[in-house]
Amino acid sequence: MIGDAIAGVLGKVIDRAWPDPVEKAKAAIAIEEMRQAGEFRVLDAELERGRQQVEVNKVEAAHPDRFVSGWRPAIGWVCAAALGWHYIGRPVASWTLLMTGADQPIPAVELGDLWVVMLGMLGLSGMRSFDKTKGTALH
């Protein structure tokens, strides 16, 4: 974003400073290379952070204490139980109550925050949007 703004300003300076089209094109290419190099540094930093997180996850998962190694599976099971109740348990229970003549509504589970947690745990939270903005998304 900042690199695009800087490139835009420099592009305007190039237009005014170099009347020769060949020199103007060379300067524009140099600016584009600098902008791309900056973007690649950001992507490299994000990749390195991801690698470091994987290493932390490995250490946590191998820890002998269940409170250290088991927190991710516990959250995963809570998410699985909530989704199971919402999509299977609640409809079956509602149908059963309806068939027995009971007029008792079963409260719904709010899944908005649950999806955020679960997709974040699965690593799916924003990566699709990130891929789309960078033009690397598969169709």
Any idea where the domains of the chain sit in the sequence? Answer: 1-64, 70-139
- The yes-or-no verdict on residue 50 having pLDDT over 70 is yes
Alpha-carbon gap, residue 84 to 16, rounded angstroms = 64
pLDDT in tens, 58-84: 888 888 888 888 888 888 889 899 999
pLDDT at 2: 52
CB 54 within 8 A of CB 18: no
pTM for this model (two decimals) = 0.50
**Helix (H/G/I), strand (E/B), else coil: 84:** helix
